[in-house]
């Protein structure tokens, strides 16, 4: 009927010799994906995965877990499903994945407001004006004027510190995606190939949650002025965030940098201080003991006290395991963990036997199962972007997400065990073929500076 009306109007115009410009129809999103609450994990050793540039067009599409592209496919298809007039906001440390740049530019062309905050380290590293090709394209397409509806922004260091620091959060925020509103994707993965095929990462999505979304948008807007405020720490709590639809679970966002100089002002240290190692209820912990699992990427002596707290908890009966890339961990940290024989697994792997250890864990999460804050039947996840460095805590822009949901915890444990199994098998094979030696579980003799940039991204 609409086509008939337009055709008749066109004939009338021609007969009168008058030119009338008809209103343009809004460009429809190329995809119709609606995200759901819950966790996703990539697997750098898995299949590459669906090509969401051409393949993820079906209504109801959901990302396939444990593929290389699982996390970026979700973000990419979300970008392709944002309608005209909506807002996309990204916060990331690095950006070099071409399909994402193309999708963001296309979104802006169809009337979506696209706003990016990307760390300036890569831009400053070479010389002023030097970017990845993708960032060059985005600067050209979006501009840098934050008074406009779309832009890309960098800060001198982290956006709230005048000392060496970084925008290290990974937030993918959408005012609307498909049939969902107020969508926050909170991740450890940057839109870069390193986060796809070289490292293990995770994302937790919270949809239709205005409280969490507004907290994340406020965080984005608070960074834009590039004004020092290292006493920024605050939290925002809200539901729903449960993949199974329960309204009882309330998730919590923590925003950094956090002022202070002692362990008592360290969020992770305080979380561990609320753990009791014995007395877990049936179905929780292991034989009545609280279980703690940690995946870390970078851990310096400035936060050695976290390792000391873990050895204290191990001495009290907690069951603890840690995965990390050994070359990113200061020797004192590993030595402290070994004092109580805490199992540690070096995830820095030479995957193809070429002498280059190109594979590494990049997820950052803390899993607790047992007794927490007096609750003997607690399962919870703390995850997002923060490394165990002082700079991540005190200077850089970081986020942390608390998810107190049993089912979610169990899914993260499954991911931890999947990484652990691969690491054990890979290092065993490497020893058998003499491709590695005792360095498999070594750490560097002298630590990198606590404020050093991410060496892999």
Does any domain span residue 42? yes
Phi, psi of 430 (to 5 degrees): -65, -40
Q: Supply the pLDDT for residue 430.
A: 66
> Does residue 319 sit in the same domain as residue 426?
yes
Instruction: Look up residue 41 and give its DSSP letter.
Output: E
Q: Are 272 and 310 in contact (CB under 8 A)?
A: yes
pLDDT tens-digit series, residues 60-94: 788 999 999 999 999 999 999 999 999 999 999 99
Choice among 5-9, 119-123, 186-190 with the minimum mean pLDDT = 5-9
Q: How many domains does the chain have?
A: 2
pLDDT band for position 57 (cuts 50, 70, 90): confident
For residue 165, pLDDT over 60 is answered with yes
Q: Supply the pLDDT for residue 340.
A: 94
pLDDT tens-digit series, residues 384-435: 999 999 999 999 999 999 999 999 999 999 999 999 999 999 988 766 543 3
Q: Supply the pLDDT for residue 154.
A: 94
DSSP string, 55-115: S--STT--PPTTSTTHHHHHHHHHHTTPPTT-EEEEEES----HHHHHHHHHHHHTT-EEE
> Does residue 56 sit in the same domain as residue 138?
yes
Q: Which residue has the higher pLDDT, 26 or 379?
A: 379
Does any domain span residue 132? yes
Does any domain span residue 6? no
Where do we find the tokens 């905050």? 117
pLDDT tens-digit series, residues 249-299: 999 999 999 999 999 999 999 999 999 999 999 999 999 999 999 999 999
Q: Supply the pLDDT for residue 455.
A: 87
C-alpha to C-alpha distances, 290 to 175, 270, 380, nearest whole angstrom: 39, 16, 12
pLDDT tens-digit series, residues 13-52: 334 444 443 344 567 898 889 999 999 999 999 999 988 8
pLDDT band for position 437 (cuts 50, 70, 90): very low
Does any domain span residue 7? no
Containing structural domain, residue 290: 260-441
> Does residue 89 sit in the same domain as residue 161?
yes
For residue 227, pLDDT over 60 is answered with yes
Average pLDDT score over residue span 182-190: 98
Q: Supply the pLDDT for residue 23.
A: 42
Q: Supply the pLDDT for residue 447.
A: 64
CA neighbor of 328 nearest in space, from 198, 197, 447: 447
Does any domain span residue 403? yes
> Does residue 305 sit in the same domain as residue 374?
yes
Mean of the per-residue pLDDT values for the chain?
90
Choice among 31-45, 121-135, 365-379, 382-396 with the minimum mean pLDDT = 121-135
pLDDT band for position 55 (cuts 50, 70, 90): confident
**For the chain, percent of residues with pLDDT exceeding 90:** 80
Q: Give the CATH number for residue 192.
A: 3.30.870.10
pLDDT band for position 341 (cuts 50, 70, 90): very high
For residue 1, pLDDT over 80 is answered with no
> Does residue 218 sit in the same domain as residue 294?
no
> Does residue 138 sit in the same domain as residue 198?
yes
pLDDT band for position 2 (cuts 50, 70, 90): very low
Q: Supply the pLDDT for residue 222.
A: 98
CA neighbor of 189 nearest in space, from 171, 198, 201: 201
CA neighbor of 188 nearest in space, from 44, 328, 297: 297
> Does residue 173 sit in the same domain as residue 76?
yes
Average pLDDT score over residue span 134-161: 96
**For the chain, percent of residues with pLDDT exceeding 70:** 89
Q: Supply the pLDDT for residue 9.
A: 40
Rounded Cα–Cα distance for residues 246 and 250 (Å) = 10
> Does residue 198 sit in the same domain as residue 268?
no
Does any domain span residue 446? no
Rounded Cα–Cα distance for residues 251 and 370 (Å) = 18
Q: Any residues with CB less than 8 A from the CB of 231 and at least 6 apart, and which?
A: 257, 258, 259
pLDDT band for position 59 (cuts 50, 70, 90): confident
Does any domain span residue 235? no
> Does residue 114 sit in the same domain as residue 197?
yes
Does any domain span residue 237? no
> Does residue 223 sit in the same domain as residue 264?
no
| Residue 376 φ/ψ region, left for φ over 0, alpha for ψ in the -120 to 50 degree band, beta for the rest | alpha
Q: Supply the pLDDT for residue 121.
A: 85
> Does residue 265 sit in the same domain as residue 405?
yes
Rounded Cα–Cα distance for residues 377 and 33 (Å) = 36
CA neighbor of 420 nearest in space, from 328, 323, 330: 323
For residue 10, pLDDT over 60 is answered with no
Average pLDDT score over residue span 321-350: 96
Domain boundary among 229, 251, 269: 229
For residue 344, pLDDT over 70 is answered with yes
> Does residue 223 sit in the same domain as residue 310?
no
């Amino acid at each position: 009927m609409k086509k008939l009306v337009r055709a008749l109007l066109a004939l009338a115009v021609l007969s009168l010799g008058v030119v009338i410009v008809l209103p343009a129809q809004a460009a429809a999103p190329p995809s119709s994906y609606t995200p759901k609450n819950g966790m996703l994990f990539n697997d750098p050793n898995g299949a590459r995965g669906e090509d969401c540039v051409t393949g993820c067009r079906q209504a109801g599409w959901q990302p396939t877990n444990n593929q290389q592209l699982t996390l970026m496919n979700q973000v990419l298809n979300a970008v392709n499903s944002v309608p005209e007039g909506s807002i996309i906001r990204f916060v990331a440390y690095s950006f070099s994945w071409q399909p994402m740049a193309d999708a963001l530019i296309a979104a802006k062309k169809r009337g979506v407001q696209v706003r990016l905050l990307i760390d300036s380290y890569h831009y400053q590293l070479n010389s002023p004006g030097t970017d990845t090709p993708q960032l060059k394209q985005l600067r050209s397409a979006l501009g840098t004027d934050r008074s406009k509806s779309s832009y890309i922004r960098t800060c001198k260091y982290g956006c709230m510190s005048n000392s060496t620091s970084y925008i290290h959060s990974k937030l993918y925020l959408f005012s609307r995606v498909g049939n969902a509103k107020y969508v926050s994707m909170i991740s450890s993965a940057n839109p870069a190939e390193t986060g796809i095929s070289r490292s293990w990462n995770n994302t937790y999505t919270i949809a239709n949650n205005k409280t969490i979304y507004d907290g994340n948008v406020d965080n984005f807007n608070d960074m834009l002025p590039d004004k020092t405020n290292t006493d920024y720490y605050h939290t925002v709590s809200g539901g729903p965030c449960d993949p199974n639809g329960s309204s009882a679970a309330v998730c919590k966002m923590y925003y950094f940098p956090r002022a202070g100089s002692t362990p008592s002002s360290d969020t992770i240290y305080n979380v561990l201080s609320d753990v009791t190692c014995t007395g877990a209820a049936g179905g929780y912990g292991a034989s009545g003991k609280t279980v703690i699992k940690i995946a870390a990427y970078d851990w310096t002596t400035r936060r050695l006290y976290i390792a000391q707290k873990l050895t204290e908890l191990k001495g009290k009966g907690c069951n603890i395991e840690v995965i990390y890339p050994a070359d990113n961990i200061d020797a004192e940290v590993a030595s402290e963990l070994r004092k109580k024989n805490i199992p540690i697994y070096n995830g820095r792997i030479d995957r193809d036997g070429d002498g280059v250890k190109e594979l590494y864990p990049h997820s950052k999460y803390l899993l607790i199962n047992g007794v927490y804050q007096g609750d003997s039947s607690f399962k919870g996840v703390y995850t997002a972007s923060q490394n165990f460095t002082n700079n991540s805590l005190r200077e850089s822009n970081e986020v942390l997400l608390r998810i107190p949901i049993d089912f979610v915890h169990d899914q993260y444990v499954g991911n931890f065990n999947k990484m652990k199994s691969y690491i054990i098998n890979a290092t065993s094979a490497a020893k058998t073929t003499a491709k590695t030696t005792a360095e498999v579980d070594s750490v560097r003799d002298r630590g990198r500076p606590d404020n050093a940039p991410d060496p892999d991204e």
